[in-house]
Amino acid sequence: MSYYQMNENLSIDYLMKQGIFSETSNLTSREVGDGNLNLVFIVKDTLSGTSVVLKQALPYVRVVGEGWPLSVERTIFEANALEIHNRIVPNLVPKLLHRDDELALIVMEDLSHLELMRYGMMKMEKHPKFAEHISTFLADTLFYTSDMHMSSEEKKRLVAKFINVELCKITEDLVFTDPYYDADRNNINPRLKPYLEEVFWKKTELWLETSKLKYKFLTEAQSLIHGDLHTGSIFAGEEETKIFDAEFAFMGPAAFDVGKIIGNIFINYVSWSGKDEDVEKIQDYRSYLIETVKRLHRLFEKKFIENWKKDAQDISARVEGYRDQFMRNLFIDTIGYCGVVMIRRVHGLAHNIDVDGIENLEKRRDVQVKLLELGEILIMNRHQFNNIEEVTDMLRENIEGAKNL
Protein backbone atom coordinates (compact mmCIF):
# COMPACT_ATOMS: atom_id res chain seq x y z
CA MET A 1 0.00 0.00 0.00
CA SER A 2 1.49 3.33 -0.95
CA TYR A 3 2.17 6.07 1.55
CA TYR A 4 -0.63 8.12 3.07
CA GLN A 5 -0.48 10.24 6.17
CA MET A 6 -2.06 8.85 9.32
CA ASN A 7 -4.44 10.68 11.59
CA GLU A 8 -6.09 9.42 14.74
CA ASN A 9 -8.95 7.62 12.98
CA LEU A 10 -6.78 6.19 10.26
CA SER A 11 -4.33 4.86 12.84
CA ILE A 12 -7.20 2.92 14.45
CA ASP A 13 -8.35 1.52 11.10
CA TYR A 14 -4.84 0.52 10.23
CA LEU A 15 -4.13 -1.30 13.47
CA MET A 16 -7.46 -3.14 13.30
CA LYS A 17 -6.71 -4.25 9.76
CA GLN A 18 -3.34 -5.54 10.85
CA GLY A 19 -4.95 -7.65 13.56
CA ILE A 20 -2.87 -6.02 16.25
CA PHE A 21 -5.96 -5.72 18.46
CA SER A 22 -8.75 -8.26 18.76
CA GLU A 23 -11.92 -7.62 16.81
CA THR A 24 -13.94 -6.89 19.92
CA SER A 25 -11.71 -4.07 21.10
CA ASN A 26 -12.73 -0.45 21.38
CA LEU A 27 -9.87 1.75 20.27
CA THR A 28 -9.03 5.36 20.97
CA SER A 29 -6.09 7.17 19.39
CA ARG A 30 -4.20 10.25 20.42
CA GLU A 31 -1.35 12.00 18.66
CA VAL A 32 1.32 12.80 21.24
CA GLY A 33 4.42 13.54 19.17
CA ASP A 34 6.40 16.34 20.75
CA GLY A 35 9.49 15.74 18.67
CA ASN A 36 10.91 17.56 15.68
CA LEU A 37 10.26 15.00 13.02
CA ASN A 38 7.44 12.48 13.19
CA LEU A 39 3.84 11.65 14.14
CA VAL A 40 3.34 9.50 17.23
CA PHE A 41 -0.06 7.98 18.09
CA ILE A 42 -0.94 6.15 21.26
CA VAL A 43 -3.72 3.75 20.43
CA LYS A 44 -5.54 2.13 23.30
CA ASP A 45 -8.22 -0.47 23.74
CA THR A 46 -10.46 0.99 26.44
CA LEU A 47 -11.89 -2.45 27.19
CA SER A 48 -8.73 -4.46 27.81
CA GLY A 49 -6.54 -1.49 28.68
CA THR A 50 -3.81 -2.64 26.28
CA SER A 51 -2.17 -0.06 24.09
CA VAL A 52 0.51 0.39 21.44
CA VAL A 53 2.40 3.27 19.89
CA LEU A 54 2.36 3.92 16.16
CA LYS A 55 5.13 6.20 14.88
CA GLN A 56 5.01 7.47 11.32
CA ALA A 57 7.47 9.60 9.38
CA LEU A 58 6.22 12.66 7.53
CA PRO A 59 7.81 13.59 4.20
CA TYR A 60 9.22 16.74 5.79
CA VAL A 61 10.65 17.97 9.08
CA ARG A 62 7.66 18.33 11.35
CA VAL A 63 8.76 21.43 13.28
CA VAL A 64 9.75 23.26 10.11
CA GLY A 65 7.04 22.11 7.71
CA GLU A 66 7.02 21.19 4.04
CA GLY A 67 9.74 23.73 3.35
CA TRP A 68 12.28 21.23 4.69
CA PRO A 69 11.54 17.96 2.93
CA LEU A 70 12.93 14.78 4.46
CA SER A 71 12.44 11.33 3.01
CA VAL A 72 10.21 8.99 4.99
CA GLU A 73 12.79 6.22 4.59
CA ARG A 74 14.14 7.27 7.99
CA THR A 75 11.57 4.88 9.47
CA ILE A 76 13.36 2.01 7.76
CA PHE A 77 16.51 2.89 9.64
CA GLU A 78 14.66 3.18 12.91
CA ALA A 79 12.95 -0.16 12.36
CA ASN A 80 16.20 -1.84 11.33
CA ALA A 81 18.00 -0.49 14.37
CA LEU A 82 15.15 -1.37 16.69
CA GLU A 83 15.16 -4.94 15.38
CA ILE A 84 18.81 -5.22 16.26
CA HIS A 85 18.28 -3.60 19.66
CA ASN A 86 15.39 -6.00 20.26
CA ARG A 87 17.87 -8.84 19.77
CA ILE A 88 20.87 -7.44 21.67
CA VAL A 89 19.21 -5.53 24.55
CA PRO A 90 15.54 -6.57 24.52
CA ASN A 91 14.82 -5.20 27.98
CA LEU A 92 16.16 -1.74 27.31
CA VAL A 93 14.15 -0.76 24.24
CA PRO A 94 10.48 -0.78 23.21
CA LYS A 95 9.39 -4.07 21.69
CA LEU A 96 8.97 -3.71 17.95
CA LEU A 97 5.54 -5.19 17.17
CA HIS A 98 5.12 -4.40 13.50
CA ARG A 99 6.76 -2.49 10.69
CA ASP A 100 5.39 -1.16 7.44
CA ASP A 101 8.12 0.30 5.29
CA GLU A 102 5.77 1.60 2.60
CA LEU A 103 3.68 3.52 5.06
CA ALA A 104 6.90 4.50 6.82
CA LEU A 105 5.63 3.45 10.21
CA ILE A 106 6.44 1.21 13.10
CA VAL A 107 4.20 -0.12 15.83
CA MET A 108 5.85 -0.63 19.17
CA GLU A 109 5.28 -1.18 22.83
CA ASP A 110 3.58 1.73 24.58
CA LEU A 111 5.89 3.12 27.22
CA SER A 112 3.76 5.98 28.45
CA HIS A 113 3.82 4.66 32.01
CA LEU A 114 7.38 6.03 31.98
CA GLU A 115 8.47 9.63 31.81
CA LEU A 116 10.87 11.17 29.34
CA MET A 117 14.18 11.37 31.14
CA ARG A 118 14.66 14.99 30.13
CA TYR A 119 11.45 16.07 31.85
CA GLY A 120 12.26 14.06 34.96
CA MET A 121 15.65 15.68 35.20
CA MET A 122 14.13 19.14 34.95
CA LYS A 123 12.18 18.24 38.10
CA MET A 124 15.31 16.91 39.79
CA GLU A 125 14.09 13.36 39.62
CA LYS A 126 16.63 10.64 40.26
CA HIS A 127 16.77 7.43 38.27
CA PRO A 128 18.61 4.94 40.43
CA LYS A 129 18.87 2.26 37.73
CA PHE A 130 19.83 4.54 34.86
CA ALA A 131 23.62 4.21 35.04
CA GLU A 132 23.34 0.45 35.25
CA HIS A 133 20.96 0.22 32.31
CA ILE A 134 22.44 2.74 29.93
CA SER A 135 25.92 1.28 30.41
CA THR A 136 24.56 -2.10 29.35
CA PHE A 137 22.84 -0.56 26.36
CA LEU A 138 26.05 1.14 25.27
CA ALA A 139 28.43 -1.73 26.00
CA ASP A 140 26.26 -4.33 24.29
CA THR A 141 25.05 -2.46 21.23
CA LEU A 142 28.43 -0.90 20.53
CA PHE A 143 30.49 -4.03 21.08
CA TYR A 144 28.33 -6.63 19.39
CA THR A 145 27.95 -4.61 16.19
CA SER A 146 31.69 -3.94 15.84
CA ASP A 147 34.54 -5.63 14.03
CA MET A 148 35.74 -7.06 17.31
CA HIS A 149 32.74 -9.31 17.45
CA MET A 150 31.20 -9.53 14.02
CA SER A 151 32.72 -11.25 11.05
CA SER A 152 34.15 -8.92 8.47
CA GLU A 153 31.22 -9.81 6.22
CA GLU A 154 28.40 -9.29 8.74
CA LYS A 155 29.87 -5.98 9.76
CA LYS A 156 30.06 -4.77 6.16
CA ARG A 157 26.47 -5.87 5.53
CA LEU A 158 25.48 -3.63 8.43
CA VAL A 159 27.40 -0.72 6.94
CA ALA A 160 25.43 -1.14 3.71
CA LYS A 161 22.13 -1.51 5.53
CA PHE A 162 22.65 1.70 7.47
CA ILE A 163 23.69 4.15 4.77
CA ASN A 164 21.56 6.77 6.51
CA VAL A 165 22.30 9.68 4.21
CA GLU A 166 19.76 12.25 5.29
CA LEU A 167 19.88 11.94 9.02
CA CYS A 168 23.68 11.75 9.10
CA LYS A 169 23.69 14.94 7.07
CA ILE A 170 21.54 16.64 9.71
CA THR A 171 24.11 15.77 12.36
CA GLU A 172 27.05 16.71 10.16
CA ASP A 173 25.55 20.15 9.55
CA LEU A 174 23.69 21.00 12.73
CA VAL A 175 26.10 19.50 15.24
CA PHE A 176 29.54 19.75 13.66
CA THR A 177 29.35 22.74 11.34
CA ASP A 178 26.68 25.44 11.78
CA PRO A 179 27.46 26.35 15.42
CA TYR A 180 31.01 27.37 14.44
CA TYR A 181 29.99 30.25 12.21
CA ASP A 182 27.04 32.55 11.66
CA ALA A 183 24.95 30.00 9.79
CA ASP A 184 21.39 30.86 8.80
CA ARG A 185 19.90 27.88 10.53
CA ASN A 186 21.35 28.73 13.93
CA ASN A 187 18.84 29.66 16.59
CA ILE A 188 20.48 32.31 18.70
CA ASN A 189 19.52 33.96 21.97
CA PRO A 190 19.88 37.67 21.03
CA ARG A 191 21.70 38.31 24.31
CA LEU A 192 24.27 35.70 23.31
CA LYS A 193 24.95 37.03 19.83
CA PRO A 194 27.66 39.56 20.83
CA TYR A 195 29.60 36.82 22.64
CA LEU A 196 29.40 34.59 19.59
CA GLU A 197 30.57 37.36 17.31
CA GLU A 198 33.32 38.70 19.50
CA VAL A 199 34.57 35.51 21.07
CA PHE A 200 33.19 32.16 20.05
CA TRP A 201 33.25 32.40 16.27
CA LYS A 202 36.88 33.50 16.40
CA LYS A 203 38.04 30.26 17.97
CA THR A 204 39.56 28.62 14.92
CA GLU A 205 41.47 26.06 16.96
CA LEU A 206 38.24 24.89 18.47
CA TRP A 207 36.66 24.66 15.04
CA LEU A 208 39.66 22.68 13.88
CA GLU A 209 39.33 20.14 16.69
CA THR A 210 35.60 19.83 16.10
CA SER A 211 36.28 19.30 12.41
CA LYS A 212 38.57 16.39 13.25
CA LEU A 213 35.75 14.86 15.25
CA LYS A 214 33.40 15.54 12.35
CA TYR A 215 35.77 13.71 10.03
CA LYS A 216 35.60 10.65 12.25
CA PHE A 217 31.83 10.92 12.19
CA LEU A 218 32.01 10.97 8.39
CA THR A 219 34.49 8.15 7.94
CA GLU A 220 34.73 5.85 10.95
CA ALA A 221 32.42 2.87 10.51
CA GLN A 222 32.98 1.35 13.91
CA SER A 223 29.70 0.24 15.49
CA LEU A 224 25.98 0.55 14.94
CA ILE A 225 25.36 3.70 16.92
CA HIS A 226 22.00 5.03 18.06
CA GLY A 227 23.02 8.41 16.73
CA ASP A 228 20.69 10.58 18.83
CA LEU A 229 21.20 9.41 22.38
CA HIS A 230 20.15 12.43 24.41
CA THR A 231 17.84 12.45 27.42
CA GLY A 232 14.85 13.05 25.12
CA SER A 233 15.41 9.62 23.54
CA ILE A 234 15.17 7.82 26.86
CA PHE A 235 12.27 6.90 29.08
CA ALA A 236 13.38 6.51 32.66
CA GLY A 237 11.54 5.31 35.74
CA GLU A 238 12.46 3.94 39.14
CA GLU A 239 13.08 0.46 37.83
CA GLU A 240 13.11 0.75 34.08
CA THR A 241 15.07 2.48 31.33
CA LYS A 242 14.02 2.37 27.67
CA ILE A 243 15.96 3.83 24.81
CA PHE A 244 13.96 4.73 21.71
CA ASP A 245 13.95 6.92 18.57
CA ALA A 246 16.89 5.28 16.78
CA GLU A 247 16.18 6.85 13.37
CA PHE A 248 19.68 8.38 13.27
CA ALA A 249 21.32 4.96 13.56
CA PHE A 250 24.27 4.15 11.31
CA MET A 251 27.70 2.55 11.44
CA GLY A 252 29.69 5.33 13.04
CA PRO A 253 32.06 6.13 15.88
CA ALA A 254 31.01 4.38 19.07
CA ALA A 255 32.20 7.34 21.12
CA PHE A 256 29.46 9.51 19.66
CA ASP A 257 26.73 7.73 21.61
CA VAL A 258 28.69 7.69 24.85
CA GLY A 259 29.70 11.33 24.53
CA LYS A 260 26.21 12.47 23.55
CA ILE A 261 24.44 11.07 26.58
CA ILE A 262 27.11 12.37 28.97
CA GLY A 263 27.04 15.78 27.30
CA ASN A 264 23.30 16.01 27.73
CA ILE A 265 23.57 15.20 31.42
CA PHE A 266 26.22 17.89 31.72
CA ILE A 267 23.85 20.38 30.09
CA ASN A 268 21.28 19.68 32.76
CA TYR A 269 24.00 19.97 35.41
CA VAL A 270 25.01 23.43 34.21
CA SER A 271 21.45 24.63 33.58
CA TRP A 272 20.71 24.91 37.31
CA SER A 273 22.96 27.97 37.51
CA GLY A 274 20.20 29.90 35.75
CA LYS A 275 17.31 28.64 37.85
CA ASP A 276 15.68 29.87 41.03
CA GLU A 277 15.95 26.76 43.09
CA ASP A 278 16.98 26.00 46.62
CA VAL A 279 20.78 25.94 46.71
CA GLU A 280 21.00 22.77 48.71
CA LYS A 281 18.65 20.95 46.43
CA ILE A 282 20.75 21.99 43.48
CA GLN A 283 23.91 20.82 45.20
CA ASP A 284 22.35 17.51 46.00
CA TYR A 285 21.03 17.00 42.50
CA ARG A 286 24.31 17.96 40.93
CA SER A 287 26.13 15.45 43.12
CA TYR A 288 23.70 12.84 41.92
CA LEU A 289 24.35 13.77 38.28
CA ILE A 290 28.11 13.61 38.75
CA GLU A 291 27.83 10.22 40.40
CA THR A 292 25.57 9.06 37.62
CA VAL A 293 28.04 10.05 34.92
CA LYS A 294 30.94 8.45 36.76
CA ARG A 295 29.05 5.21 37.31
CA LEU A 296 27.65 5.17 33.81
CA HIS A 297 31.09 5.52 32.30
CA ARG A 298 32.91 3.19 34.67
CA LEU A 299 30.26 0.52 34.12
CA PHE A 300 30.27 1.07 30.40
CA GLU A 301 34.01 0.46 30.20
CA LYS A 302 33.80 -2.52 32.51
CA LYS A 303 31.02 -4.17 30.53
CA PHE A 304 32.55 -3.37 27.17
CA ILE A 305 35.79 -5.01 28.31
CA GLU A 306 33.91 -8.01 29.67
CA ASN A 307 32.17 -8.42 26.33
CA TRP A 308 35.53 -8.16 24.63
CA LYS A 309 37.13 -10.82 26.84
CA LYS A 310 34.23 -13.13 26.36
CA ASP A 311 33.26 -12.57 22.75
CA ALA A 312 36.00 -10.94 20.69
CA GLN A 313 36.23 -13.07 17.54
CA ASP A 314 38.95 -11.35 15.56
CA ILE A 315 42.39 -12.70 16.44
CA SER A 316 43.87 -9.21 16.08
CA ALA A 317 41.58 -7.97 18.85
CA ARG A 318 43.39 -10.34 21.18
CA VAL A 319 46.88 -9.01 20.52
CA GLU A 320 48.53 -7.71 23.68
CA GLY A 321 47.87 -4.04 24.24
CA TYR A 322 45.23 -3.80 21.55
CA ARG A 323 42.22 -3.48 23.79
CA ASP A 324 43.90 -0.91 26.02
CA GLN A 325 44.69 1.45 23.19
CA PHE A 326 41.21 0.94 21.79
CA MET A 327 39.60 1.87 25.11
CA ARG A 328 41.88 4.87 25.42
CA ASN A 329 40.94 6.20 21.98
CA LEU A 330 37.30 5.56 22.67
CA PHE A 331 37.58 7.63 25.83
CA ILE A 332 39.34 10.53 24.13
CA ASP A 333 36.72 10.67 21.39
CA THR A 334 33.93 10.35 23.94
CA ILE A 335 35.12 13.48 25.73
CA GLY A 336 35.42 15.26 22.40
CA TYR A 337 31.89 14.37 21.30
CA CYS A 338 30.62 15.27 24.76
CA GLY A 339 31.93 18.81 24.27
CA VAL A 340 30.60 19.01 20.71
CA VAL A 341 27.03 18.13 21.67
CA MET A 342 27.04 20.61 24.55
CA ILE A 343 28.00 23.41 22.19
CA ARG A 344 25.48 22.58 19.48
CA ARG A 345 22.58 22.74 21.95
CA VAL A 346 23.44 26.35 22.85
CA HIS A 347 22.94 28.17 19.57
CA GLY A 348 22.52 25.53 16.87
CA LEU A 349 19.08 24.84 15.43
CA ALA A 350 17.90 22.44 18.14
CA HIS A 351 18.13 23.42 21.80
CA ASN A 352 17.55 21.70 25.10
CA ILE A 353 14.54 22.78 27.09
CA ASP A 354 16.76 22.40 30.18
CA VAL A 355 18.40 25.67 29.17
CA ASP A 356 15.71 27.31 27.04
CA GLY A 357 13.42 26.92 30.03
CA ILE A 358 15.37 29.79 31.65
CA GLU A 359 13.15 32.68 30.65
CA ASN A 360 15.38 35.59 31.57
CA LEU A 361 17.55 35.99 28.51
CA GLU A 362 20.55 37.36 30.40
CA LYS A 363 20.52 34.47 32.82
CA ARG A 364 20.09 32.09 29.93
CA ARG A 365 23.01 33.72 28.17
CA ASP A 366 25.24 33.26 31.22
CA VAL A 367 24.42 29.55 31.31
CA GLN A 368 24.99 29.31 27.58
CA VAL A 369 28.39 30.95 27.81
CA LYS A 370 29.32 28.46 30.54
CA LEU A 371 28.26 25.61 28.30
CA LEU A 372 30.31 26.94 25.40
CA GLU A 373 33.35 27.32 27.64
CA LEU A 374 32.97 23.84 29.07
CA GLY A 375 32.43 22.33 25.65
CA GLU A 376 35.62 23.98 24.52
CA ILE A 377 37.62 22.71 27.50
CA LEU A 378 36.42 19.18 26.84
CA ILE A 379 37.20 19.27 23.13
CA MET A 380 40.55 21.02 23.41
CA ASN A 381 41.82 18.92 26.31
CA ARG A 382 40.34 15.57 25.40
CA HIS A 383 43.79 14.01 25.09
CA GLN A 384 44.79 15.20 28.54
CA PHE A 385 42.02 13.68 30.62
CA ASN A 386 42.98 10.30 32.03
CA ASN A 387 39.60 9.14 33.19
CA ILE A 388 36.02 10.21 33.73
CA GLU A 389 36.74 11.41 37.29
CA GLU A 390 39.14 14.02 35.97
CA VAL A 391 36.40 15.19 33.65
CA THR A 392 33.74 15.47 36.33
CA ASP A 393 36.26 17.13 38.69
CA MET A 394 36.92 19.75 36.04
CA LEU A 395 33.19 20.33 35.61
CA ARG A 396 32.59 20.62 39.32
CA GLU A 397 35.49 22.98 39.89
CA ASN A 398 34.32 25.13 37.04
CA ILE A 399 30.68 25.35 38.07
CA GLU A 400 30.67 24.83 41.80
CA GLY A 401 34.18 26.03 42.55
CA ALA A 402 34.99 22.94 44.55
CA LYS A 403 36.97 19.94 43.44
CA ASN A 404 35.79 17.15 45.67
CA LEU A 405 32.60 17.37 47.67
Ligand X SMILES: Nc1ncnc2c1ncn2[C@@H]1O[C@H](COP(=O)(O)OP(=O)(O)OP(=O)(O)O)[C@@H](O)[C@H]1O
Q: Which does residue 111 touch among Mg ion, its own copies, ligand X, none (CB within 5 to 8 A, set by kind)? A: ligand X
Classify burial at 62, counting beta carbons within 10 Å of its beta carbon; exposed 0-12, middle 13-18, buried 19 or more: middle
Q: How far is the CB of 373 from its own copies (least distance, A)?
A: 20
Instruction: Answer whether 333's CB lies under 8 Å from 258's CB.
Output: no
Q: Which stretch binds ligand X (CB under 6 A): 108-116, 187-195, 303-311, 377-385?
A: 108-116
Rounded to whole angstroms, what are the CA distances from 322 to 138, 223, 259, 305?
20, 17, 22, 12
Q: How far apart are CA 36 and CA 52, in angstroms?
A: 21
Q: How far is the CB of 97 from its own copies (least distance, A)?
A: 29
Determine which residue in the list 111, 121, 265, 312 makes contact with ligand X, applying CB under 6 A. 111
Per-residue contact string for residues 55-94; x = within reach of ligand X by CB under 6 A: x--------------------------------------x
- Of 226, 231, 243, 261, nearest to 125 by C-alpha is 231
3-state secondary structure of 321: coil
Instruction: Answer whether 369's CB lies under 8 Å from 195's CB.
Output: yes
Q: How far is the CB of 234 from Mg ion (least distance, A)?
A: 12
Q: How far is the CB of 227 from Mg ion (least distance, A)?
A: 9
User: Checking DSSP bridges between strand 60-61 and strand 51-57, what pairing results, if any?
Assistant: unpaired
Run of H or E residues at 195: helix 193-198
Residue 333 or residue 354: which is nearer to Mg ion going by CB? 354
Q: Which stretch binds ligand X (CB under 6 A): 16-24, 111-119, 140-148, 157-165?
A: 111-119
Instruction: Answer whether 395's CB lies under 8 Å from 374's CB.
Output: yes
Residue 129 or residue 328: which is nearer to its own copies going by CB? 328
Q: How far is the CB of 156 from its own copies (least distance, A)?
A: 5
Beta strands in 8-153 (DSSP E): 27-31, 38-45, 51-57, 60-61, 65-69, 96-100, 105-109, 115-116
- If one asks whether residue 15 binds ligand X (CB under 6 A), the answer comes out as no
Per-residue contact string for residues 141-170; x = within reach of its own copies by CB under 8 A: ------x----xx-xxx-xx--x-xx-xx-
Residue 307 or residue 352: which is nearer to Mg ion going by CB? 352
- If one asks whether residue 211 binds its own copies (CB under 8 A), the answer comes out as yes
Q: How far is the CB of 40 from Mg ion (least distance, A)?
A: 10
Q: What is the DSSP string of 281-313?
A: HHHHHHHHHHHHHHHHHHHHHHHHHHHHHHH--
**Nearest residue to Mg ion, by Cβ distance, number only:** 245
Determine which residue in the list 32, 47, 159, 163 makes contact with ligand X, applying CB under 6 A. 32
Instruction: State the residues that interact with ligand X by CB under 6 A.
Output: 32-38, 40, 53, 55, 94, 108-112, 116, 232, 244-245, 247
